[in-house]
Amino acid sequence: MLWHFTMSLDGFVAGPNHAMDWMAGVSSRPGLVEEYAKTTGAVLGGRNGFDAYPDVSGIYGGAWQGRVFVLTHHPEDAPPTTGVTFLSCDVAEAVRIGLEAAGGKNLEVFSATIGRQLLERGLIDEIDLHIAPVLLGDGIRLFDNPGGDPLRLELLTGDDRSAAVNVRHRPGATR
């Protein structure tokens, strides 16, 4: 169970109204898309993300094929969409269904809301982030948990599990 996002430097995974245009022009390391297209077995998302971007054929540049599950409290008004199964069940049950469909590959969570619920239940194995060189200041946070306690993480890249990740930027020419 992999919680996988490209995130702004200030912690947003989407801008206001689910805007994703801030990702344009951000380059990813060579081979990344192909790598994820291979290792991803199925995707679990939420209804808001689906309503904003109902065409799932472009996941990983169209290089990926697999089942997409969308959690919603009202599946009855969801438009039938090729490759998408709407679920209205407990998140843990959605994970069980998604993992079964993933056939031993990763089930990736493309939802901030669902990721937080799964973290609470101890159902996230890893959080996989690509940090884009942009500050959004508004939008949908990776982890929105006002009043909650800090949640400690272990760094899985490198040898030091408690290491901070060091990045150094300067404001770009276009603002």
Q: Give me the residues that bind ligand NAP (CB under 6 A), please.
A: 5-6, 13-14, 18, 45-49, 52-53, 71-74, 88, 91, 110-114, 117, 140
Which one, 46 or 98, has the nearer CB to ligand NAP? 46
Rank residues 73 and 175 by Cβ distance to ligand NAP and give the closer one: 73
Nearer to ligand NAP, 124 or 173 (CB): 124
Between 83 and 163, CB nearer to ligand NAP: 83
State the nearest-atom distance from the C-beta of 97 to ligand NAP, in Å.
Answer: 13
DSSP the chain: -EEEEEEETTSEEE-GGG--GGGTT----TTHHHHHHHHEEEEEEEHHHHHH----TTGGGGT---EEEEE-S-GGGSPP-TTEEEE-S-HHHHHHHHHHHHTTSEEEE--HHHHHHHHHTT---EEEEEEES----SSEESS--TTPPP------SSS-TTPPPP------S--
CB of 106 vs ligand NAP, minimal distance in Å: 14
Between CA 70 and CA 75, with CA 72 as vertex, the angle to 5 degrees is 95
Report in angstroms how near the CB of residue 175 gets to ligand NAP at its nearest.
Answer: 21
Q: How far is the CB of 71 from ligand NAP (least distance, A)?
A: 4
Q: Which residue is nearest to ligand NAP (CB)?
A: 46
Query: Which residue do the tokens 């669902």 mark?
Result: 114
Q: How far is the CB of 156 from ligand NAP (least distance, A)?
A: 18
Residue placing its CB nearer to ligand NAP in the complex, 50 or 101: 50
Alpha-carbon radius of gyration of the chain: 16
